[in-house]
Amino acid sequence: MTHTADAIVIGAGIHGCSTALHLALRGVKALVIEKDYAGRHASGVNAGGVRQLARHLAEVPLSVASMEFWERIRDIVDDDCGFEAHGQVLIAESETELDGCRARVDDLRLRGFTHEELLDRTQLRDLVPAAAEHCVGGIVSRRDGAANPFRTTQAFRRKAIALGARFLEGVSVSNLRRHGRAWRLETTHGSFEAANVVNAAGAWADRITAQVGEPVPLQVIAPMLMITAPMPSFVAPVVILRGRKLSFKQFANGTVLIGGGHLGHPFRNENRTELDWHKLSESAGTVAELFPIMAGSTIVRAWAGIEARMPDDIPVIGPSHTSEGIFHQFGFSAHGFQLGPSVGALMAELITTGATNVPIEPFRIQRFSEHRFQHNQSGRQEPMN
Amino acid sequence: MSNALKTRYDVAVIGAGPAGLAAAAVTARAGLETIVLDENPSPGGQVYRAVTTSPLHATKVLGDDYRRGLDLVRELERSGAQLVSATTVWSVSRELEVGISRHGRAQLLSARRIVLATGALERPFPIPGWTLPGVMTVGAAQTLLKSSGLVPQGSVVLAGLGPLLWLYAAQLLNAGASINAILETTPRRNLLSAVPYAPAFLLSPYFSKGLALLARVRRRVRILPGATRIAAVGDSQIQAVRFVARGREIRLPVDNLLLHQGVAPNVNLAMSIGVEHRWDALQLCWRPIADEFGRTSIPGIAVAGDGAGICGAWAAEQRGRLAGLRIVNDLAGGRVAEAPSEQSLRQSLRRWQIGRGFLDRLYQPAAQFRVPEDDAVIVCRCEEVTAGQVRHAVRIGCEGPNQLKSFLRCGMGPCQGRLCGLTVTELMAAERRVAPQAVGYYRLRPPVKPITLAELASLPRSDAAESAVVRE
Amino acid sequence: MFARLAAVDETSVSLRIDGEPIEARPGDTVAAALLAAGFQHCRTSAVSGALRAPYCMMGVCFDCLVNIDGVGNRQSCLVPVREGMKVELQRGKRAPVA
């Protein structure tokens, strides 16, 4: 027996859940099919950064739009998601880096974006008193902050269900093909059909794109994080670095979360990751240099999520290039959490009206075959221009 | 014992209790480069704690069995294995890479085979007030006695069940200290389920030792059997213990309340590696799935001793030797000089396992002390999460311990579930009306012991590849 | 409270706990020395401020955390005493002394 739905969303990460919620707001009751449980992977274990700061230019409009949602998150999902906005600060560790910051802020302003402000040495220390001596300034985005990623994903899921969406968890999609005017999905729990299917399958999204003749150069990565035992409060904003991999956040309970994108080893077929202690060691060294007070702090846990990275570090968002009724929403390259609310809204808009308010042309799936990609020595694909 | 550590070994044994000492001696004698890593200042594990340094070794306080530990340490020293004490193991990967920390510095080493011999820990005993100063485990008090010659003062009450409780009581009396009362919590029906195993128990070495010990203690200490609704009372420290015995509610002023209701395998390291476990419905704990040589679901990783399932110190040695022999067979081929054959080890093991059936049933802790009825009882000591909060989380849809971590922070403290894991599994199972196996256990992450940022930063550099590769 | 058996060696290691001079036996762990010296608790919880004391004495409960020679969150039941050691009870969210 085949079940039919208004729309099917594959994947219940923040993006799948957000899309399901926004579809429901527009009267479309989606069926979300998730192979584990909502927030099991990248969406549930990331650093929770709610960040407009330092985004790729193409993402800025989406990020700014998302901020509006975050500031009303309790109204949208009946849960504050642990969202706290004490700003995000990017630190420049040299004059050269600071010049780069200045150029960036100027460029954004020219384009009409004012969320990033330049900081000099004194202003930096007003915001981050514990920063080491060698830090010369940086950039602040004041509305930014962080939230609880698992809680947020679950809140979107709960609200989507309240508005009529259905979730099937522990169910994997094995096959996707056209069936008349609809799409037919074979799963471990039977067959499902819908006119519109959203591929929000994260690190497994390339398996879906392959089913509709759209292979993509998706790289599975395992960004690592560490968390410490509680310490007395010493830093309020989230801190990132311009020149090195670091993201740094202290929670209300005093624990400090250290991230930044150092990669471990993913085993996506087994839902597991292995940590790279050498890289974590480097992270630890970076933190100790930046915040000397942290040298004696104790690390109580380290972990990694399973995420999808695209070669140009920006996601795939938009309609399929080969198949009408298929939509893609994946590849957020370790910075998709903050974008969840607005991209879900955008996806629902796209599906129901055929157009979007915010430009998504840079995120089109066909960009990988348009440019002639070169393989560099490590096997990673990069655009030629 | 050389102080310098290599980065590659044939065999890494984690834990210097009876199983670890025995396993390492076998592999080292066969010529395999063997290292024993132990976090305590000196070898012996828990059962032979401080056996090489105890101030009481010359006295009759601790009993003759304790001396066995010295024999095992000497055997290890003669074998050529490298023993490294005061060394914390904070990570073991499936690729058999071990993260260790000593003298404030971290390093990684790798081995062709790893033996996890991390032993057992005392079962949690979640009663009201169990986090108060003045409340500790019987094992803790015994460690203070063995390692430092310390005895508890004032009004001392022991509560619970199991051989260790009686052993320590006897040791305390031998030392000339006094015990106000023993609150025995053995449920009456345990006797019924244990009786069919009694004949086998009578044949076991446990029987005669156990009986004499029990008789000695019972003669000199007030015993209150069938104690229920035990609670520690006090504000900044314990002042009294309240309980019900023989139908009466009793309150005893107390300076030291010592709790014990058996031991369970310390599965923390094995779980963090991803070794498969199953719930043992008799011993009411998680055990790694392993064959008779201790081989687990992860190639190259074996478990031996109480960490594989509670079996006692003597059986732990035999299992250690079996694990060692299998490794020698795999890596070096042929027989090992001076080693018993696998056949004789199995026979020894069978002899010592007779009697376990009786003890496991007699000393199965009562449900009320495994799954607190009182919602206010703290279940997760680290994060101070109560039984009521866990029940509520289950009612609003939390199905397992991992979702619980995100809802409540339960299990996210430094003990990583060592003291709450069993309680949480059984509590959620009871609330959901499913088997503990269905509820599962926390997904654990290294470091399994906290390391400082400075220690981690001090890891010797290597030429590691820059980025991750996709592995299918 | 815990007291030393008469049969045990004299104590000879000097250390300080919260500034107070303490004598311990070589081979004592810091937790044992603390209890022998009459301290009832070793830390206050970072979650609620409740007083905590060593519970398991074998490194699994993490209740015996103290600050030793400037580093916090040390499991005192696993650290042997050393001459001149500076131990501080851990209060709430303990910062390492810089």
Distance CA B317, CA B306 (A): 10
Which neighbouring-strand residues pair with A302? A226
pLDDT of residue C97: 42
Q: What's the pLDDT band for A376 if we cut at 50, 70, 90?
A: very low
Among B145, B159, B338, B148, smallest CA distance to B232 is for: B159
Alpha-carbon distances, residue C48 vs A238, A321, B389, C42 (angstroms) = 25, 56, 16, 15
Q: Count of alpha carbons within 13 Å of C40, Cβ hemisphere only?
A: 14
Distance CA A8, CA C76 (A): 55
Of chain A residues 279-298, which have a CB less than 8 A from chain B?
Answer: 279-281, 284-285, 287-288, 294-298
> Which residue from A minimizes the CA distance to C45?
A230
Q: What's the pLDDT band for B3 if we cut at 50, 70, 90?
A: low
pLDDT of residue B222: 96
Closest CB to B453 among A221, A272, A287: A287
Name the DSSP letter for residue B367: G
Check the CA dihedral B345-B113-A283-A43 and report its sign. Answer: negative
Model's pTM, two decimal places? 0.91
Closest CB to B55 among C8, C62, C77: C8
Could you tell me if B12 and B109 are in contact, meaning their C-beta atoms sit under 8 angstroms apart?
yes
> Which residue from C minimizes the CA distance to A230?
C93
Asked if residue C5 belongs to a domain, the reply is no
- Residue A158, pLDDT above cutoff 70: yes
Asked if residue C47 belongs to a domain, the reply is yes
Name the DSSP letter for residue C26: T
Closest CB to C32 among B131, B144, B176: B144
- Residue B67, pLDDT above cutoff 90: no
pLDDT of residue B355: 74
Chain A residues whose beta carbon lies within 8 Å of the beta carbon of residue B393: none
Asked if residue C98 belongs to a domain, the reply is no
Check the CA dihedral B136-B138-B144-B145 and report its sign. Answer: positive
CATH assignment at residue C53: 3.10.20.440
Chain A residues whose beta carbon lies within 8 Å of the beta carbon of residue C96: 231, 293, 295-297
Asked if residue C54 belongs to a domain, the reply is yes
Distance CA A38, CA A44 (A): 8
Range of the domain at C86: 13-91
A232 touches chain C (CB under 8 A): yes
Asked if residue C2 belongs to a domain, the reply is no
B255 touches chain C (CB under 8 A): yes
Distance CA B253, CA B201 (A): 37
Task: Quote the crossing angle between the two packed helices A340-353 and A60-71, to the nearest 10°.
Answer: 110
Least confident of A13-27, A155-169, B330-344, C47-61: B330-344
Alpha helices in B281-341 (DSSP H): 313-331
Instruction: Name every residue in C having a CB less than 8 A away from some CB of A.
Output: 46-47, 70-73, 92-98
Least confident of A72-86, A305-319, B48-62, B100-114: B48-62
Both tokens assigned to A384: 């030629």
Q: How many domains does chain C fold into?
A: 1
pLDDT in tens, B194-214: 988 888 788 776 677 778 888
Q: What average pLDDT score do residues C83-94 get? A: 88
Both tokens assigned to A254: 């005093």
Check the CA dihedral B131-B135-B137-B143 and report its sign. Answer: positive
Could you tell me if B93 and B269 are in contact, meaning their C-beta atoms sit under 8 angstroms apart?
no
Q: What's the pLDDT band for B37 if we cut at 50, 70, 90?
A: very high
Residue contacts between A and C (CB atoms, under 8 Å)? 37
> Which residue from A minimizes the CA distance to C96?
A296
Asked if residue C33 belongs to a domain, the reply is yes
pLDDT in tens, B437-465: 999 999 999 999 999 999 999 999 764 43
- Chain C nearest-CA distance from A292, in A, is 7
pLDDT of residue B340: 67
Q: What integer best gives the mean pLDDT of chain B?
A: 91
Distance CA B225, CA B185 (A): 6
Per-position b or e across B103-131, b if 16+ CB within 10 A of its CB: eeebbbbebbbbbbbbbbbbbbbbbbbbb
Q: What's the pLDDT band for B55 if we cut at 50, 70, 90?
A: confident
Least confident of A60-64, A293-297, B355-359, C84-88: B355-359
A377 touches chain C (CB under 8 A): no
Which bin fits A322, alpha (ψ -120 to 50), beta or left (φ > 0)?
Answer: alpha
Distance CA B265, CA B253 (A): 33
> Which residue from C minimizes the CA distance to A255?
C93
- Cα of first residue to Cα of last residue in chain B, in angstroms, is 43
Which neighbouring-strand residues pair with A146? A49, A84
Least confident of A374-378, B74-78, C50-54: A374-378
Q: What's the pLDDT band for A378 if we cut at 50, 70, 90?
A: very low
What is residue B328's three-state secondary structure?
helix
Could you tell me if B441 and B425 are in contact, meaning their C-beta atoms sit under 8 angstroms apart?
yes
Distance CA B29, CA B23 (A): 10
pLDDT of residue B466: 35
Could you tell me if A242 and A138 are in contact, meaning their C-beta atoms sit under 8 angstroms apart?
yes
Tracing tokens 């990132």 back to the chain, one arrives at A240
Which neighbouring-strand residues pair with A219? A309
Residue contacts between A and B (CB atoms, under 8 Å)? 105
Asked if residue C77 belongs to a domain, the reply is yes
Distance CA A160, CA A345 (A): 12
Percent of the residues in chain B that have a pLDDT greater than 90, as a whole number: 78
Q: What is the dihedral of CA A127, A133, A138, A141, to 10 degrees?
A: -20
Contact A254 C93 (CB under 8 A): yes
Closest CB to C73 among A229, A253, A295: A229
- Chain B nearest-CA distance from A10, in A, is 21
Alpha-carbon distances, residue A380 vs A210, A261, A275, B72, B286 (angstroms) = 19, 17, 21, 54, 43
What is residue B219's three-state secondary structure?
helix
- Chain C nearest-CA distance from A133, in A, is 15
Asked if residue C7 belongs to a domain, the reply is no
Could you tell me if A309 and A331 are in contact, meaning their C-beta atoms sit under 8 angstroms apart?
yes
- Residue B50, pLDDT above cutoff 90: no
Chain B residues whose beta carbon lies within 8 Å of the beta carbon of residue C27: 41, 50, 53, 55, 147-148
Which bin fits C29, alpha (ψ -120 to 50), beta or left (φ > 0)?
Answer: beta
**How many other C-beta atoms can be found within 10 angstroms of the C-beta atom of residue B191?**
12
Instruction: Name every residue in C having a CB less than 8 A away from some CB of B.
Output: 1-5, 7-9, 25, 27-29, 32, 35-36, 40-41, 45, 47-48, 50-63, 65, 71, 73, 77-78, 80, 96
Q: Which chains touch C (3 or more CB pairs under 8 A)?
A: A, B
Q: Which of C73, C75, C88, C91 to mutate to test the interface with A (most CBs of A within 10 A)?
A: C73
pLDDT of residue B213: 85
